[in-house]
Amino acid sequence: MFAFSLAPSGCTSNLQSLEGRIFFSVREDFVNDYSVGPPRILLEMKTEKIYGCCNNRLISEIVRSGSFIAVNLKGVLFPEICLTALGPATSRDFLNLPEGVYSLNFQQWSVPDRYTLTVKKDAIEITPMLSTFTAPEYTEFWRYPENSFAYYCGTLTQTAWICDDFAAHLLGEIDLEEFHFPDTGEICYPPSGGGHYYDSPPRYFKYKKEGDFDLAGELLMTYTERLIIPDQGTALGIRNWKNKSYCSY
């Protein structure tokens, strides 16, 4: 029997009671925007209630025993310094979960909300069993395929050809396999950033060896120097499954 507990540091004596539902997701992510390495599974939660400080923390204790995971919701911790913007109270807790089927329980009242959590090689699935005060933001999450990357492109309308041209350049220089995620569920890679006159839908590729992604980055930089005029509304970028990225800007 293996058990672990995750509890927040700091004083929790001034916790405020929870109001409204708790929205949650179980997905893969990185420690922060700048960390590079394999993604990890995390439980992310946020309150339905919106507060005047956007850095309020949702406090909970997470206990795992074998395939049973209990999330004991404690309350909302108000920070000493308030970042004055509207937002929910939030929490992020990384979980060490191998592939398998788990019972995920949220405890706030006498009767817990219960879910079945299934961790597969390619996806994470949440099946509600009893849900009264919690709600999953999505029930299916597609994990990062190993040795994969996403390609993003935004241009002016008259230079939209650049997006397909650089993709063809990549496929011509590196042994890549383009793939697609299923139409249902949440995708691990971020959506297109938007903000351009033309934003191409993200495209996804798998490569054979680690050095291939760095080669793709070199090709992007060379292509940028050769064809893209700085500050003219064009942006190319690639980001891989370890959160490593190259961009033209």
122-149 pLDDT per residue, tens: 999 999 999 999 999 999 999 999 999 9
- Name the maximum alpha-carbon separation found in the chain: 65
Q: Distances in Å between the alpha carbon of 103 and those of 16, 28, 113, 115, 155? A: 28, 18, 11, 6, 46
Collect all residues with Cβ–Cβ distance below 8 Å to 165 and sequence separation of at least 6: none
Answer whether residue 7 shows pLDDT above 80.
no
pLDDT per residue as tens digits for the range 75-120: 999 988 999 899 999 999 999 999 999 999 999 988 899 999 999 9
For the entire predicted model, the pTM comes to 0.90
How many other β-carbons are positioned within 10 Å of the β-carbon of residue 60?
23
Q: How does residue 13 score in pLDDT terms, banded at 50, 70 and 90?
A: low
CA atoms within 13 A on the CB side of 161: 3
Which pLDDT belongs to residue 200? Answer: 96
Query: What gap in Å lies between CA 75 and CA 72, rounded to an integer?
Result: 10
Q: Which helix (H) or strand (E) holds 212?
A: helix 210-227
pLDDT confidence of residue 222 = 96
Alpha-carbon separation of residue 192 from 150, 162, 168, 184 (angstroms): 10, 16, 19, 17
Element (H, E) at 172: helix 161-173
pLDDT for residue 10 is more than 60: no
Which pLDDT value is given to residue 2? 42
Q: What is the pLDDT of residues 192-209, one digit of tens each?
A: 877 899 999 999 999 999
**Mean pLDDT of all residues belonging to the chain:** 93
**30 DSSP assignment:** -
